[in-house]
Amino acid sequence: MATWSDLEMELSIWHAAGVTPTFWWRDDDAESPSPALDTLLALAQRHSVPIHLAVVPKSVGPALANRLSHATDTYVLQHGFAHVNNEPFGARASEVGEHRDIDLQLRDLKDGWQRLVQAQIPNLLPGFAAPWNRIADKTVAHFPDLGYRLLSTCHARKSPSPVAGVTQVNIHFDPIRWKQGPKFRGTEATLEGVVEHLVQRRTGLVDKTEPTGLSTHHLQTDDIVWSFTDQLLERLTHNGASEWIRLSSFLDQK
């Protein structure tokens, strides 16, 4: 388990080496405006941190587009189609997993993308955040043809590019634990995930160039988690402690 002091120590080690650690923020499951979404966007704005919303396309409409048009430094990734589990009983949940017919998957992915476009969602990036953070290799292989250039799942990535032309940028820690219902993971347990990935990056155990990813879910966030996230962002942004990445920056890379 890690403490705030452990996080500050790790950040100081990076800075002593003349390096500013990079982070990025992904929030999942947006479909429509809500008080929780307002809280999320206000928190990001207060700390001047760019945020990436993984939006479920099935029921998306102009109301979300209008709300996001007034949001600062907010970007959108496609989050599946309907966020339903298509895997058989006993398999780990995925909407785009190994067992579902690939033609049905591709139909849904294309339909979902068109719904986001037709809703005129602002700052829509050509990227896909996999529901449950799981996606079959056979699906990713079609990403160049579908026009996706970004992929996000979880854990330290094995390669920056799973297929040519697609950059993978994952999330690495989540203040919510999901077994037996969403609840706060706890300060020390969440900080452990942050510090662990930073240490692994610094020591070369994982890809040093992948920014450490914060995962949140505004619709399942209670006051305790909001408070923790506020404190974390304060510590990570105070006096240039870290740099927060916009995934759009990867689209400019050759």
Which domains can be identified in the chain, with CATH numbers? 4-239 (3.20.20.370)
Please name every residue paired with 151 in a beta bridge, in sequence order, or none if there are none: 128, 168
Q: For 66-95, what is the mean pLDDT?
A: 96
Cβ atoms of 81 and 112 within 8 Å: the answer is yes
Whether pLDDT at 18 is above 60: yes
Q: For 189-210, what is the mean pLDDT?
A: 98
Q: Strand, helix or coil at 96?
A: strand
Whether pLDDT at 253 is above 70: no
pLDDT score, position 154: 98
DSSP H stretches of helix in 119-243: 137-140, 143-146, 187-203, 223-237
pLDDT score, position 145: 97
In this structure, what token pair is assigned to residue 3? 């403490």
pTM over 0.85: yes
Whether pLDDT at 248 is above 70: yes
- What is the Rg, in whole angstroms, of the alpha carbon atoms belonging to the chain? 18
- Please provide the average confidence, as pLDDT, over all residues in the chain: 97
Whether pLDDT at 223 is above 70: yes
Residues whose CB falls within 8 Å of the CB of residue 60, separated by 6 or more in sequence, listed in order: 31, 32, 115, 116, 119, 121
Q: Round to whole Å and give the CA distance between 150 and 147.
A: 9
157-194 per-position pLDDT tens digit: 999 999 999 999 999 999 999 988 899 999 999 999 99
In this structure, what token pair is assigned to residue 252? 């400019």
Write b or e for each residue in 99-122: b if 16 or more Cβ atoms lie within 10 A of its Cβ, otherwise e: ebeeeebeebbeebbebbeebebb
The pLDDT-based confidence of 252 (bands split at 50, 70, 90) is confident
125-155 per-position pLDDT tens digit: 999 999 999 999 999 999 999 999 999 999 9
pLDDT score, position 180: 85
